[in-house]
Amino acid sequence: MQKVGFIGLGRMGQPMASNLVRKGFDLTVFDVNADAVGRLVALGARKAADVAHVVAGADIVVTMLPNSAIVEKVVAGPEGVLAHAARGAIVMDMSTVNPETTDLLARLAAEKGIGFVDAPVGRLASHADRGESLFMVGGSDPDFARVTPLLNAMGTTIYHCGGAGAGTRTKIVNNYLAVTSCQLNAEALALAQRFGLDLDCTLDVLYGTTATNGQLKIAWPAKVLSGDIAPGFTIDLAHKDLTLILEAAQAAKVPMPVAAAAREAYSTARARGFGGNDFSAMADALCDTIGVEKPRLGPTSRHKP
């Protein structure tokens, strides 16, 4: 069994690391949150005092961190992962970051004889809890083969998208559609609410045409339309991802006016205090703005999950 170091035990990282421990992996963990580390230690992981300690002797080092700047510092900083990892080890970054960050880390790792895999996560925190995450993976075939047992322990669906950087770029394309779909759905349902339409009948029509989408048909009935706006993926994070998307598109010289408009809508929702809610609550934010009742499925709705 390969020795694994895991850095970053936030809302996504903690269940992912927990699933590795439960599946029998030799795991050492590190996070600035001592309570998060303690929960993993209680499951059987070893506690690391710092990055150097978590990397020492590790065959694979996993990072699951909040943003590009933190990932770059933790992996490539003077006391970072690459400064301490042994030649032949693999760094697998599972954060959602700027593609330029991924490219930089892959290049620096290669210069030190260290493998690099980018494997950002699809689906929600609730899926991570159940070990049902989806992974978009970039890396060489040999490196992909080495990390596949870890991915199988943390999720159910794995796509090898290409070489290093392909996973991050696929995540950006995926998140663009997922996040903007929420804004489109919010506008559509706010309009229906203003018109005074029956929600069940409206959904019947939308589900029966090409207007439907996964957010509206699969995610929303269990979330905002049922009154559950507890965050699986917050409006704040969706706004962050739209910023990444626009930065990556600008670097690639691809105009994305819809993404720009959607980010402004998310900015408005954050300014009105909705940032910590699930991103399906964009519907609530818009309905609140225009002063109409929030869309909710009744207790006998045929669309209740």
Task: Identify the three-state secondary structure at position 228.
Answer: coil
> Looking at this protein, which amino acid is placed at residue 2?
Q
- Torsion sign over Cα 16, 19, 24, 28: positive
Point out the catalytic residue in the list 23, 47, 112, 171. 171
Strands, E assignment, the chain:
3-7, 26-30, 46-47, 60-63, 90-93, 115-118, 121-122, 133-138, 155-162
Number of H helices, E strands in the chain: 14, 9
> Looking at this protein, which amino acid is placed at residue 4?
V
**Rounded Cα–Cα distance for residues 36 and 1 (Å):** 24
- Nearest in space to 243 (alpha carbons), one of 32, 88, 96, 34: 96
Pairing outcome for strands 90-93 and 115-118: parallel
Token pair of 128 as six digits: 């991570």
Q: Is-catalytic flag, 3?
A: no
Task: Identify the three-state secondary structure at position 273.
Answer: coil
- Nearest in space to 118 (alpha carbons), one of 161, 154, 156, 67: 161
Count CA atoms within 13 Å of residue 73 on its CB side: 7
Token pair of 46 as six digits: 């070893």
Instruction: Report the catalytic residues.
Output: 171
